Structure 1
Amino acid sequence: MFDIKSFFKREVEKKLMDVDDYIFMPERLEMELDGGSLNCVLNSDGRVDIFYTKQGVTEVSSAPRKHPFTSFETELHHGIYDDVIDDLVKEVSKIIDSSSKYFRRNKILSSAPSLPSRPLS
């Protein structure tokens, strides 16, 4: 037999949990993490942007809002976005630890000759 009450209850819960239907108050939380700066931004459309900067290297990632009825700060404290933050920290560390075979800090690049300032006739 079909239970109409549970069907309507499920549909109402589905509508309430759809993050796309909400407008959020933008929030921003900043903190120091592993020698770098972590910025977590909740946008009004429910998108969460996470920025991690260390030694001049910045990596950015976005995630959808997970729980519309929970405060953004509470979500962060419960580790909802920890996987995204871990990936950002790893990427920045990987970039910082790598080095170029072409550009070195102790190597001075020769400058190219300058072009003449007056037109050739």
Structure 2
Amino acid sequence: MFDIKSFFKREVEKKLIDVDDYIFMPERVEMMLEGGQLNCVLNSDGRVDIFYSKQGVTEVSSAARKHPFTAFETELHHGVYDDVIHDLIKEVDKIIDSSSKYFRRSKILPTAAALPSSSAATDK
């Protein structure tokens, strides 16, 4: 026997759980963290973009919304994205602490000779 009530209940639950069909109100949370600027952005499609900038170095990561029916700030306060933030900070610090064997701040890079403009070439 076919149970209409359970069929409709399953369909309603499926629609409620499938967050791909929802449009979220975009939100942005900014804060200073460990000497850098952290920006957490909730996009309208439910994707969370996290930006961390420090001393001119920026690292970006995206995460799927983990608890779509919880307020975004509540997720942040409970540390839902702390692992992603920790990895970003670690990567930025690694870049800042490293140095190139080819480019040094004390070494002056040679500049290329300026090319004559087209008007100067036609004047002769």
TM-score, normalised by the number of residues in structure 2? 0.82
Shift of 1:93: 0.6
Identity of aligned residues (%): 82
Cα distance in 2 for partners of 1:94, 1:74 equals 30
- Structure 1 letter corresponding to 2:81: Y
* 3-state secondary structure, aligned to 2:70: coil
Structure 2 equivalent of residue 110 of structure 1: 110
CA offset at residue 19 of structure 1? 1.7
Deviates more, 1:7-16 or 1:81-90: 7-16
* Amino acid of the structure 2 residue aligned with 1:93: D
User: What corresponds to 1:18 in structure 2?
Assistant: 18
Q: Alpha carbons of 1:102 and 1:70: their partners in 2 closer, same or farther (altered >3 Å)?
A: same
Equivalenced residues, count: 119
Superposition CA RMSD, Å: 2.3
Residue in structure 2 matched with residue 89 of structure 1 by the alignment: 89
Kindly report which structure 2 residues correspond to 1:1-121, keeping only aligned pairs within 5 A, or say none: 12-117=12-117, 118-119=120-121
Shift of 1:115: 3.1
- Going by fraction, where is helix more abundant, 1 or 2? 2
What is the rounded CA distance, in whole Å, between the counterparts of 1:74 and 1:55 in structure 2? Answer: 29
CA contact (8 A) 1:17 1:67 kept: no
* Structure 2, unpaired ranges of 5+: none
Report SS of the residue matched to 1:95. Answer: helix
Once residues 7 and 36 of structure 1 are traced to their aligned partners in structure 2, the CA distance between those partners, rounded to angstroms, is 52
- Flag the structure with larger Rg: 2
Q: CA shift at 1:68, angstroms? A: 1.6
After superposition, the C-alpha distances for 1:43-97 in whole angstroms (9 at most, x for unaligned) are 1111111000000000011111111210000001111111111111111011001
Paired residues of 1:59 and 1:91 also in contact (CA < 8 A):
yes
CA shift, 1:11, in A, is 5.5
